Structure 1
Amino acid sequence: MHQRSSQAAFSLLLPVYAGDDPGFLRLAFESSVQGQSLRPAEAVIVQDGPVPDALAREIERIGADSPIPVNVVLLPENRGLTEALNAGLAACAQPVVARMDADDVSLPGRFERQWALLQQGFDLVGTGMVEFEHDPDRPASTRVPPVGSERIREHARTHNPFNHPTMMYRLEALDRVGRYQPFGKMEDYWLGIRLIDDGARVENIADPLLAYRVGSGAFARRGGWVEARTEWRLQRELLRMGFVTRGQYLRNVVMKGVYRLMPASVKRVLFRGLIGRGLPGDRTAG
């Protein structure tokens, strides 16, 4: 995993909460620092509430072993992903921030390729990703995002155009839209919509540059009445701001409502076989 690397002016933002696995966290961190051809200038780890002793010790060891400075932000109680990310953004010393979850794996060259696009003037750059259950070298599926500003905007009217754990963005662009805002488990979709609507320059790299760990309950978490209601609330906001037409709104409400209320076994087949290129993410830190 270790390789010769250069360094650039961006921060790695990595939230951690009590349910995270210490070994997965170590792999996530090392793949995003030691395993990259372009390293971040610093890492900001947000500990979202109390964590088990083994995880606390791992966070401490990561800071001690890291070749870059590590700033650990401690939140007194679990506040969820939105607040954890905003607390981390407030602690980032660099103008560009790269997202990372505590159980995923950054693939080699990820940051170098994203940074190159940011240097061309883009405000947000996401990438494709592979999904895996146990071994990141044996992915179960690939999620390919839309590429090009027009395709991204069109895709955003029906699905999340960005894979949240892959995002790399400029803080000033997030500041213009109010950073992350609470929206159930769709805070990332809502952020992307607001950035696009604000005129931010956005892009995706189609190649998978991150391995996303899918637990056994992932598809169950993507559904249910709570998720359906959040989906409908999001669609109302998109209609209110003129991002979708009334016809698109009605179609989305029906189709997404049906999807959210399907049994998890059916959803797994549909998601991976037909529409796995952009449904809103299901990650939360609490």
Structure 2
Amino acid sequence: MTLDTEPFTVLMPVYDGDRRRFVRRAFESATREQTLPPTQVVVVRDGPVRPKLQKLLEKLASTPGVDVDLVELPQNVGLAAALEVGLEHCDHEIVARVDADDVSLPHRFAVQVPLVTGGYDLVGSAIVEIEEDEAEWGRTRTPPTTPDEIERYSRFHDPFNHPSVVYRRSAVRGAGGYETLDLMEDYLLFARMIAVGAQVANVPEPLVLYRVGAGAYARRGGTRLLRSELRLQRTLRDEGFTSRSQYVRNVVVRGGYRLVPEALRKAAYRTLIVRERSDGDERTQVLGVTDFQGD
């Protein structure tokens, strides 16, 4: 079967904290293992890295049969700025995001890229949590799937799993691109894309194995993240994306989440989204805001 697709670029940022084994696995899964391989790969080295990781990046850059552009930033600038630089080096309009410690399932791009070719500006998917062993699948994070569901959900929560998205570079540019905001730059970008009319969708099938480390919940709390959360909510309110009541709810609920102890934060994250099946439909209940995720 011949897929109706455009050429596309994989964009993968790497920094010194990434593990070599995971970086190699992420790269291989997004290139040689894909049934629809990318036309180009842009690897952004976000600042200096240790010698062994640098050697691996140079080896990946010379992978036979894969067009790899290794962009080496002299200083660590953070994810948002690194992605902005990476987008400048992408040769193609369609860009697939890949994180340096995740695994793209072999049919990922064969599913998502034709959807973007067909008219969508932004397409994400469900993801499955993994830890060290990618064969041991954990919980599945299933986002809302239709444009209406995504728009509703986005007033409270990021409606896309960032490591799973494929988008049009022009749509990202049209929304202002990535803005530095700790752990929330993707949410801000996607909200702005929705606000300016981007055509969006999520695939309910998991297409990415998302690696959850021991410190995943610790990184999502504390005063630093609270400041980031408050800035996000002010921006969304100032730009008219959320109403006054939605702003108050988000500050109280999402802001409070940043301040509770890590054990409670982990429990809260896993219970904020309650899935229940009824007549074959799957619903996601988020603090009283119900979004349908079935057909």
Q: Could you tell me the TM-score, scaled by structure 1's length?
A: 0.92
**Structure 1 counterpart of 2:271, one-letter code:** G
| Root-mean-square deviation (Å) | 1.9
**Structure 1 counterpart of 2:256, one-letter code:** V
d(CA) in 2 for partners of 1:33 and 1:8?
A: 16
Pick one of 201, 213, 216 that aligns with 1:215.
213
5 Å-filtered alignment, 1:100-111, equals 100-111=98-109
Pairwise CA distance, 1:275 = 3.0
256-265 or 96-105, which moves further after superposition? 256-265
Name the structure 1 match of 2:280. none
> Does structure 2 conserve the Cα–Cα contact (< 8 Å) formed by 1:225 and 1:260?
yes
The structure showing larger relative contact order (alpha-carbon pairs under 8 Å, at least 6 residues apart) is 1
226-235 or 156-165, which moves further after superposition? 226-235
d(CA) in 1 for partners of 2:31 and 2:166?
A: 15
Check 1:222–1:8 CA distance in 2 against 1; reply closer, same or farther (3 A cut): same
Pick one of 159, 162, 166 that aligns with 1:161.
159
d(CA) in 1 for partners of 2:96 and 2:285?
A: 19
Check 1:154–1:128 CA distance in 2 against 1; reply closer, same or farther (3 A cut): same
**Structure 2 counterpart of 1:191, one-letter code:** L
155-164 or 173-182, which moves further after superposition? 173-182
Q: Deviations along 1:15-40, whole A, 9 cap, x unmatched?
A: 01111111111100000011111011
d(CA) in 2 for partners of 1:97 and 1:35?
A: 18
**Structure 2 counterpart of 1:226, one-letter code:** R
> Does structure 2 conserve the Cα–Cα contact (< 8 Å) formed by 1:144 and 1:206?
yes
5 Å-filtered alignment, 1:1-286, equals 8-275=6-273
Pairwise CA distance, 1:118 = 0.7
**Structure 1 counterpart of 2:214, one-letter code:** S
> Does structure 1 conserve the Cα–Cα contact (< 8 Å) formed by 2:47 and 2:72?
yes
> Does structure 1 conserve the Cα–Cα contact (< 8 Å) formed by 2:15 and 2:45?
yes
Q: What SS class does the counterpart of residue 75 from structure 2 fall into?
A: coil
Pairwise CA distance, 1:12 = 0.5
Pairwise CA distance, 1:229 = 1.8
Pairwise CA distance, 1:149 = 0.7
Pairwise CA distance, 1:274 = 3.0
**Structure 1 counterpart of 2:32, one-letter code:** Q
Runs of 4+ in 1 over 6 A off after TM superposition: 276-279
Pairwise CA distance, 1:254 = 0.6
> Does structure 2 conserve the Cα–Cα contact (< 8 Å) formed by 1:37 and 1:112?
yes
Q: Deviations along 1:115-154, whole A, 9 cap, x unmatched?
A: 1211220001011101111112212211101111111010
d(CA) in 1 for partners of 2:48 and 2:182?
A: 22
**Structure 1 counterpart of 2:97, one-letter code:** R
Q: What SS class does the counterpart of residue 72 from structure 2 fall into?
A: strand
Name the structure 1 match of 2:290. none
Q: What SS class does the counterpart of residue 267 from structure 2 fall into?
A: helix
> Does structure 2 conserve the Cα–Cα contact (< 8 Å) formed by 1:7 and 1:38?
no
d(CA) in 2 for partners of 1:95 and 1:278?
A: 35
Check 1:6–1:23 CA distance in 2 against 1; reply closer, same or farther (3 A cut): farther
> Does structure 2 conserve the Cα–Cα contact (< 8 Å) formed by 1:145 and 1:278?
no
> Does structure 1 conserve the Cα–Cα contact (< 8 Å) formed by 2:221 and 2:262?
yes
Q: What SS class does the counterpart of residue 147 from structure 1 fall into?
A: coil
d(CA) in 2 for partners of 1:240 and 1:7?
A: 38
d(CA) in 1 for partners of 2:90 and 2:117?
A: 19
d(CA) in 1 for partners of 2:75 and 2:239?
A: 34
Check 1:192–1:26 CA distance in 2 against 1; reply closer, same or farther (3 A cut): same
Q: Deviations along 1:208-231, whole A, 9 cap, x unmatched?
A: 100111110110111111111211
d(CA) in 2 for partners of 1:278 and 1:79?
A: 37
Q: What SS class does the counterpart of residue 27 from structure 1 fall into?
A: helix
**Structure 1 counterpart of 2:35, one-letter code:** S
Q: What SS class does the counterpart of residue 190 from structure 2 fall into?
A: helix
Pairwise CA distance, 1:6 = 11
Pairwise CA distance, 1:8 = 4.8
Q: What SS class does the counterpart of residue 39 from structure 1 fall into?
A: coil
d(CA) in 1 for partners of 2:273 and 2:55?
A: 40
d(CA) in 1 for partners of 2:115 and 2:32?
A: 22
Q: Could you tell me the TM-score, scaled by structure 2's length?
A: 0.89
Q: What SS class does the counterpart of residue 67 from structure 1 fall into?
A: coil
